[in-house]
Amino acid sequence: MLSDTDARQWLRLRQLRVQRAREALTQAQREEAQAQAVVADREQRVEQGRALVNELGRHWGGEGCVGMPRWGERVQAHREALTERLERDEYALIDEQDALAQARSTVRQRRAELARAEAREAAVDATLKDQRRQVNQAREQRAELEAEDVGRARH
Residue-wise pLDDT for 99-115, tens only, equals 999 999 999 999 999 99
How many domains in the chain? 1
* Alpha-carbon distances, residue 4 vs 7, 8, 85, 130, 132 (angstroms): 5, 6, 67, 13, 9
The pTM of this model reads 0.74
Average pLDDT over residues 115-130: 94
Orientation of helix 4-61 relative to helix 68-154, angle to 10°: 160
When pLDDT is cut at 50, 70 and 90, the band that residue 8 belongs to is confident
When pLDDT is cut at 50, 70 and 90, the band that residue 155 belongs to is low
CA–CA separation, 78 vs 53, rounded Å?
Answer: 9
| Residues of the chain above pLDDT 70, percent | 98
Better-scored residue on pLDDT, 94 or 145: 94
CA–CA separation, 35 vs 103, rounded Å?
Answer: 7
Decide: 11 and 121 in contact? Cβ < 8 Å: yes
Q: Which domain holds residue 88?
A: 4-154
Of 15-19, 43-47, 55-59, least confident by mean pLDDT is 55-59
Q: Residue 2: what pLDDT?
A: 77
State the CATH number of the domain containing residue 43.
Answer: 1.10.287.1700
Among candidate residues 20, 15, 21, the one with its CA nearest the CA of residue 124: 15
CA–CA separation, 148 vs 145, rounded Å?
Answer: 5
Q: Residue 65: what pLDDT?
A: 75
